[in-house]
Amino acid sequence: MKYGLELIVTVVIIIFAALFLVQNAQIQATLGDDEEAWGGADGTAAEIIEASGYEPWFTPLWEPPSGEIESLFFSLQAAIGAIIIGYFFGYYRGKTQNA
């Protein structure tokens, strides 16, 4: 099977996306006006800890001032990674074809 693995990955991602759509519809239907679903698991864990009365003893030196700026740094992180992966795979592929 030349593209067996690609096929499996595609099918799993479609199932994953479909599950998300179905579940999101259910969640949105029961959600109150000011509530927001799909928050980060890291934040949920922090809420559990804060509920016990714990106060973090150190705060981040710098925080992205808005959601937009946060997404800028996340995209930058992904872009740095993607360009490196793409560069070297392209380089190697070109080399094998020339040889």
Partner 1 sequence: MHIMEGFLPSPWWQIWFLISAPFLAYGMYQLRQIYEERRETLPLLAVAGAFIFVLSSLKLPSVTGSCSHPTGTGLGAIVFGPFITSVLGLIVLIYQALFLAHGGLTTLGANVFSMGIAGPLLAYGIYRAGTKAGINPFVVVFLAASLADLFTYIITSLQLALAFPAEAGGIMTSFLAFGTVFAITQIPLAIIEGLIIALIFKYIIAVRPDLLVRLDVLSQTAVNRIREAIA
Least distance CB 69 / partner 1 (angstroms): 9
Candidate residues 35, 52, 98, 99; the one interacting with partner 1 per rule CB under 8 A:
52
- Among the listed residues 33, 34, 40, 98, the single contact to partner 1 using CB under 8 A: 40
Residue among 77, 80, 82 at smallest CA distance from 64: 77
Size of interface with partner 1, in residues (CB under 8 A): 55
> How far apart (Å, rounded) are the C-alpha atoms in residues 42 and 61?
19
Calpha distance 91→39 (Å, rounded)? 39
Helix (H) or strand (E) holding 8: helix 4-30
Residue placing its CB nearer to partner 1 in the complex, 32 or 56: 56
- Distance, in Å, from the CA atom of 42 to the CA atom of 39, rounded to the nearest integer, reads 9
Which of 34, 63, 66, 68 touches partner 1 (CB under 8 A)? 63
Dist CA 28 CA 20 (whole Å): 12
Which stretches of the chain bind partner 1, using CB under 8 A? 1-2, 5-6, 8-9, 12-13, 16, 19-20, 23-24, 27, 37-42, 44-46, 48-49, 52, 54, 56-64, 70, 73-78, 80-85, 88-89, 91-93, 96
